[in-house]
Structures are given as C-alpha cells and as structure tokens.
Structure 1
Amino acid sequence: MRYGIIGAMPVEIEKIKQNMTIEKETVLHEIHFYEGSYEGRQIVLVTCGVGKVNAGHTAQLLIDKFAVDKVINVGVAGGIQPDVHVGDVVIGVSSTTYDVGPSIMGRYFPFVSNYEYDPEVIEAAKAACESITDRSWKYVVRPTITGDMFITDSMLKEKLLSPFPDAACIDMEAQAMAQIARIYGVPIANIRSISDNADDEATNTYKENEAIAAEIAGTVLLETLKRLPA
C-alpha cells in the first residue's frame, strides 16, 4: 500500500515529515513531494496550499504521478458545533461544499453531492485516538464541509453553515480532494484538529492554536498509519 498524505500548509505536515524516512524529493509545478516510509508504510507527503483549486490540483498529481492507493488529508479546521472545541479531532465521515451547494454539485459531473470517506481509515483513526491515553482533547466522527473562505464572522457562520447541522468542522480543501479521488477511484480520508471556532475571534484563536492543532492532527495521523495495511 502507498499512502498519499496532503496538508494545505507546511505546519500541517511537519509532524509527519519529522517522523518519516524521506527517500526522494520530487518537484512538480513548484510543489514538493516527499516519498519515503513510516513504520513500514510507504508514504508520499505533500503540501498543496490553501483553497479548493490548489487541493484538487495537488490531489490529482499525487494520484496520477505517484500511484497512491489511498489519500489522507490531514491538518487543522474551524469548529462549527458547540460541542467541538479547539484541539479536538474530527475524523471525517463525508464532505460536501457550502459555497457551491450540494444540490448543484449533484447535478453536474461527477454527479455527487456528498463524498464519503474511507471506512478503513476511519476505523484506524478511531483506534489511534483511543490509543492516545494522555490526551486533553476528544475526537468525533462526523461530516465535514468545505468552502473557499476563512470564516471570521459569527453571523456569516450561522447563515452559511446552518444547512449542515451534522457537520463538525469547516475547511478549505477536503471536498476538492475527495472529488478528485472519486473521479480516479481512489479511497480518501480526512483527519483534522480544531484551530478556531469560525467566529468573530477566529483570527486570533487560529494564530494562537494553529501549531498545537497541527501537532495533534499529525500525531493522530501517525498512529493511524500504524493501524493500516503496510
């Protein structure tokens, strides 16, 4: 098995990069891909940059050029439910977009309004979280949503996100990666840690907690890999 791991920003992949054995670095279209291994698992690690276009483009390169068997998106996200707090981990079960709208997405290629994540990775991530006994955070297994905005307004958050009452967090990349993975027939998963609450205080909260949340997500990802087939 070969696992493609994507984070939007360098801080989101730093934990994995520090712990894996890097055997080769390839640069395609100014994007750096690190091929190597961790605990006997073959990995291709990459930073895509923020936003859906960057995410989709990089996911396609990862699948097309490096022939990965699964894609795992790892990083930070904004919490959008009262019971999801900064530092908590969200293991995604599915993803859709709030800025295009599920009904529109379902009417056009690839005719999918909601993208489901890989059950094997979900179960491995749950076991990984349970194995971290000294954690100060909790984990939830819920849908996530994606859009090309960093939300810093509580009223806007309520207006945009109220149609998605089951979603635990919001990000700017995951659905785009899932769409590309679906087109290519490659399983994908999403593991995020909460960096802010997508509210009026989001900018300051994010700055204070970005590195901590990224560390938590990276730790869970490494423990998850140990529980996936080599």
Structure 2
Amino acid sequence: MHRRRLGVVVALDAEAQALHAGALRHDVVVEVSAQLLLVVSGMGPGRAMAAARTLLAAGVDGLVSWGTAGALQPERKPGDLLLPEVVFGARQTWSVDLPWRALLAQSLSFPAYAGGLLSVATPCGSVAAKSAYLLDFPLAQGVDMESGAIAAVAGAAGKPFVVIRSIVDPADQSLPDAATGGVDAYGGLQALKLMRGLLRHPAACVDLMRLGAQMQKALKTLRAVAPGLQAGRVA
C-alpha cells in the first residue's frame, strides 16, 4: 500500500458535500486534503471529461467518479453502494483498477455491489428507458452520465480509476420532470422553473419529496465511504 494524490470528479454540489465539508467552487480544483483533489463538474459527460483533464493537469495519480446513480437492476434500492468492476459506454467498455476497488470495498462495514455501470450521454429518468438499457447491458447495476467520460480520460492518460456511486432512484421509478428541469447543472434549484413545473403537475410534489428522501439515503452511504477514499491509499 502507498499513498497517492487522487482526483475526484463530482457532478453535483450535494454529492461533493458528502466528501468535503469546506467551501465549494465549480469547475476548478478544490483541495480536500494533501492526498485528495476535487472538481465539481456539473452533470454530463462533456463537463466530466473537462474536470478529469483539469485534475490530471494538477498532477493526480488516479481518478475517481464519485456520486449517485439510477438503478437498472430491480433488486438495487436507494442507498445501495455500487463499486463496479467495469463501465459500459455506447461503444466501449473500461475496467476499473481492481486492486484499488478491492481496497475500498475492504474498508467498508456494509456491502458494495460489483458488476457494471452504464454511462450515458443524456438523463435516464424513465422506467422504460431503464428497462431498455438493461436489455442491452444486462450486467449493469446502475446508470450515470459521467463515469464513461472519466474512464476515457484515465485510460488515455494511463492512469487508474475507480467508480463510487450510490443509488437514488430504483429501476421501477420514473423521475418527475421537475426533478431534472428544476435544477441547474450542479443540482442547484431553479425556483421559477420548479414552480412552473409544479403548477402544471401538482402531483409531482409528492414524487419530489420521495426523491429527496431517497437522495438523503444515497448521500448517507457516500458519507460512510468518504473516510476510505480520503485516506488516499491505492493498492
């Protein structure tokens, strides 16, 4: 075992706060500790790719995709932790650094699920979309939008990477439009858009409350993983 400097790409402010209690800035390197650097990138593969390159330019030895995901497998529930062995893209598959992944898993007092993670270019918010993706990628436990881009940057640079994702929405739950249309790229509320959406679909308020509770479960899991990552150890 030895200590290295690690770079974490995080899409949302809330996800970043599960790892870093200090002030956050967007699209720039934030020093969590001497061993851990972080960039809050915003959602999507393009933003994640730019953040991963920024971290490599800052001299990190490995990259981490950190945050939340939607479930594809019906048995995955909110708060379940995914430590995938592979990341599936539309045209390519990447393997995580397996010894590093194993070290993280060993640091936990609760289960972490292996298998794969599907990374897509646009939000996957409907049950129909999740079902279709699972047919094409039956080994995928969940779906996100950033891990494939981070994996591609790490692979091109010859650097190790791992993925740490906690489930928010299960496979049988569609996200209300207000959940995606009422926030900015970093997960910040856009009050006017959110209110307009709720005025058009008042019943979505209940769905948003349920989603908020599920997000808290996912963030609780990430906070439990944080100490193992902050140690900065790579096998």
Q: TM-score range by the shorter chain?
A: 0.7 to 0.9
* Equivalence for 2:16: 13
Contact 2:169 2:214 in 1 (8 A): yes
Match of 2:70 among 47, 64, 78: 78
* Equivalence for 1:217: 222
Match of 1:142 among 111, 115, 119: 115
Residues 227 and 36 of structure 1: is their aligned pair in 2 closer, same or farther, counting only changes over 3 Å? closer
Contact 1:124 1:224 in 2 (8 A): no
Q: TM-score scaled by structure 1?
A: 0.78
Q: For 1:177, what is the secondary structure of its paired residue?
A: helix
The one-letter code of the counterpart of 2:154 is A
* Equivalence for 2:85: 93
Residues 36 and 224 of structure 1: is their aligned pair in 2 closer, same or farther, counting only changes over 3 Å? closer
| Displacement of 1:151 | 2.2
Give yes or no for the alignment of 1:55 onto 2:53. no
Residues 206 and 185 of structure 1: is their aligned pair in 2 closer, same or farther, counting only changes over 3 Å? farther
Kindly provide the CA deviation profile for residues 38-97 of structure 1, in whole angstroms up to 9, marking residues without a partner as x: xxx611112111000000111011102x11001111111001102211110000111122
Give yes or no for the alignment of 1:128 onto 2:107. yes
What is the correspondence of 1:102-181 to structure 2 with a 5 Å cutoff?
A: 102=91, 113-129=92-108, 132=109, 138-181=111-154
Q: TM-score scaled by structure 2?
A: 0.77
| Displacement of 1:219 | 2.2
Q: For 2:79, what is the secondary structure of its paired residue?
A: coil
The one-letter code of the counterpart of 1:74 is W
Between structures 1 and 2, the one with greater strand share: 1
Measure the CA separation in 1 of the matches of 2:42 and 2:119. 15
* Equivalence for 2:180: none
Measure the CA separation in 2 of the matches of 1:157 and 1:86. 15
Aligned length: 200
Q: Relative to structure 2, which stretch is displaced further, 209-218 or 73-82? A: 209-218
Contact 2:77 2:167 in 1 (8 A): yes
Contact 1:91 1:140 in 2 (8 A): yes
Contact 1:124 1:227 in 2 (8 A): no
Contact 1:86 1:194 in 2 (8 A): yes
